[in-house]
Amino acid sequence: MSETKQQEATTGATPELEVKTSTDAPAVDGSERTERGRRGPGGDKRNQRRPRRGTGRPERVRPEFDQKIISIRRVTRVMAGGRRFSFSVAMVIGDKKGKVGVGIGKAGDTQAAIEKAIRDAKKNMIIVPMNKESRIPHDVHTKYVSSEVMIMPAPGRGLVAGSSVRTVLEHAGVKDVTAKIFSRSKNKLNNARAAVEALKLLRK
């Protein structure tokens, strides 16, 4: 029996094992781990906000007149080579301060038809005579083609009208008025033009 075995037997203790620690990697505590986890593999660049490019979108220019389409129809023409489609758009424009106009445009696509209708409405624009409270001075009654319209001032009642006559009065900026359509016509373009003809008859 060797000397070391004799010593183990007499003392009853095992020789301590040497634990080698690598000095190459630095010790990392818990706070640094959590900070590194927040940063991510790319460091602080991951959560930083990118600077805005330029000044952003340009502001939309508000049109001179308010616009509303009262009628849009697809018209078909039968030609020798087949059918051809076009669009007819009726539109009301106004500044709600006394100016209003009704126009119609026809084109192969809706956007071109709308632009034509706006140009036509600007050509046929009228100025409505009103007082300081945006009220009409007296009753008017007129007939245009098959549409018959009557417009009457009604203080305190607001705008009471239907169909495209209401659209014309709204874009003209008329307040406290009552409109009545006596005809059975459902043609919105004719009703709107009848309303414009009635407003033309107003006198201060």
Q: pLDDT tens across 17-62, in order?
A: 454 544 555 555 555 555 555 555 555 556 667 766 655 666 666 7
Identity of the amino acid at 151: I
Position with higher pLDDT, 198 vs 41:
198
Q: How far, in Å, CA of 174 to CA of 94, rounded?
A: 11
Query: Does 149 map to a domain?
Result: yes
Confidence of residue 109 (pLDDT cuts 50, 70, 90): very high
Does pLDDT of 194 surpass 70?
Answer: yes
137 plus 192 within the same structural domain: yes
117 plus 155 within the same structural domain: no
Query: Does 12 map to a domain?
Result: no
133 plus 188 within the same structural domain: yes
Chain centroid to Cα 137, Å, comes to 36
pLDDT of residue 17: 47
Per-residue tokens: 5:
């075995």
Nearest to 94 by CA among 136, 125, 60, 133: 125
DSSP 122: H
Output the 3-class SS for 12-70.
Answer: CCCCCCCCCCCCCCCCCCHHHHHHHHHHCCCHHHHCCCCCCCCCCCCCCCCCCCEEEEE
Q: How many domains does the chain have?
A: 2
119 plus 155 within the same structural domain: no
Distance spanning both ends of the chain, measured CA to CA: 136
133 plus 187 within the same structural domain: yes
Nearest to 183 by CA among 173, 193, 171, 168: 193
Which domain-ending residue is among 81, 101, 126? Answer: 126
Q: How far, in Å, CA of 143 to CA of 149, rounded?
A: 6
Instruction: Find the mean pLDDT for residues 148-160.
Output: 92
Give me the chain's average pLDDT, please. 81
Query: Does 7 map to a domain?
Result: no
Which domain-ending residue is among 101, 126, 151? Answer: 126
Overall pTM surpassing 0.75 (yes/no): no
Nearest to 133 by CA among 106, 113, 153, 105: 153
138 plus 149 within the same structural domain: yes
122 plus 142 within the same structural domain: no
Cα-based distances in Å from 173 to 41, 93, 195: 63, 11, 13
Specify the CATH number for the domain of residue 74.
3.30.160.20
Query: Does 26 map to a domain?
Result: no
Does pLDDT of 110 surpass 80?
Answer: yes
Confidence of residue 14 (pLDDT cuts 50, 70, 90): very low
87 plus 72 within the same structural domain: yes
Q: Is the CA virtual torsion 79, 82, 83, 84 positive or negative?
A: negative
**3 state SS of 89:** strand
Confidence of residue 81 (pLDDT cuts 50, 70, 90): confident
Dihedral of CA atoms 7, 12, 15, 17 in degrees, nearest 10, equals 170
Query: Does 103 map to a domain?
Result: yes
Domain carrying residue 177: 128-200
Query: Does 42 map to a domain?
Result: no
100 plus 138 within the same structural domain: no
Specify the CATH number for the domain of residue 165.
3.30.230.10
186 plus 196 within the same structural domain: yes
Query: Does 155 map to a domain?
Result: yes
Q: What is the pLDDT of residues 111-152, one digit of tens each?
A: 999 999 999 999 999 999 988 888 999 999 999 999 999 999
Q: How far, in Å, CA of 164 to CA of 190, rounded?
A: 9
Q: How far, in Å, CA of 164 to CA of 172, rounded?
A: 12
- pLDDT more than 70, % of the chain: 71
Q: How far, in Å, CA of 91 to CA of 171, rounded?
A: 11
105 plus 72 within the same structural domain: yes
Which domain-ending residue is among 126, 145, 161? Answer: 126
97 plus 133 within the same structural domain: no
